[in-house]
Each structure stands twice: as structure tokens, then as C-alpha cells.
Amino acid sequence: MSGVAEQMIHADSAMDLWAYFLAGLPATIAAITAAVVAVRSRSHNRAIRSQVENDHETNLRDDLDKVTAIVQTVDERTRRIGDEQIREQKARREADKRTNDQISELVEDVLTRLDRQDRIADKYHPGEP
């Protein structure tokens, strides 16, 4: 190969041309890869755009704002329900404690009266079962 190619890159033999070819190969592969990625990226962007830009009457941002408002409303209502359940559980525990305390007092009273009754029976009726 003689002529223009040899004059531009100063190649003295076919081996020099082959060496220059191999030296430029990685850059060529990178350029081709970048071009393929760019083309695919454009088509991917078009596909995304077709999903976002549609024939709806409303803007996607406005729709998302409405959904966000609804989610916030549901969150607030859920929080109120949770707070109410916590209050009810606390009230129930307090009522249960009062009831248990009253039952304990009644049991103590009954045991005291039975003990007193046994002492009176032993005092006035000794030896009887």
C-alpha cells in the first residue's frame, strides 16, 4: 500500500499500517459504542415521553399533587384513628385497674369477715365443726 495513506501516517510497511489500525481500534470501538448508546437513549427517551405526554386533559404534575393531597388526608385520618385507639386502650387499662382494685378490696373484705365469723364461732361454739 503506497500513496496517500502512507504519506499521512508515515507508514513504512504493511506492519506499520496494521499497528496504526490496532492502535486506533479501541477509540473506534468506543465511538461506535457511544453512537449506539446515544441512538438507544433517544428511542428510550421517546418511549418515556410518550408515557408522560398523553392525551389527558390534566397535567401529570397536577394529578400527582391531587394524589399527594389524598395520601396526606388518609395519613391524617389514620393518625387520628391510631391516637383514638391509644386513648381507648389507656382508658380501658385504667378502668381495668380500678375494677381489679375494687375486686381486691371486696375479696379482702370477704376474707376478713369470714375470719371474724370463724373467730366468733370458735368463741361461742367451741368444738363444733
Judge whether 60 and 52 are in contact, CB under 8 Å: yes
Predicted pLDDT of residue 15: 75
Residue 6: what pLDDT?
A: 46
13 three-state secondary structure: coil
> What is the rounded CA–CA span in Å between residue 54 and residue 46?
12
Please state the φ and ψ torsions of residue 10, each to the nearest 5 degrees. 55, 50
Residue found under cell 446515544: 38
Task: Compute the distance between CA of residue 44 and CA of residue 37 in angstroms, rounded to an integer.
Answer: 10
- Please check the confidence at residue 5 and state whether its pLDDT lies above 80: no
pLDDT tens, position by position, 45-83: 776 666 665 566 777 788 899 999 999 999 999 999 999
**How much is the pLDDT for 80?**
94
Report the pLDDT value the prediction gives residue 127, as an integer from 0 to 100.
80
pLDDT-above-90 percentage for the chain: 43
Instruction: Using the Cα atoms of residue 69, residue 75, residue 81 and residue 87 in order, give the sign of their dihedral.
Output: negative
Q: Is the pLDDT of residue 3 over 90?
A: no
**Mean of the per-residue pLDDT values for the chain?**
83
21-49 pLDDT tens trace? 778 888 888 888 888 888 778 776 776 66
Cα–Cα dist 20/11, whole Å: 9
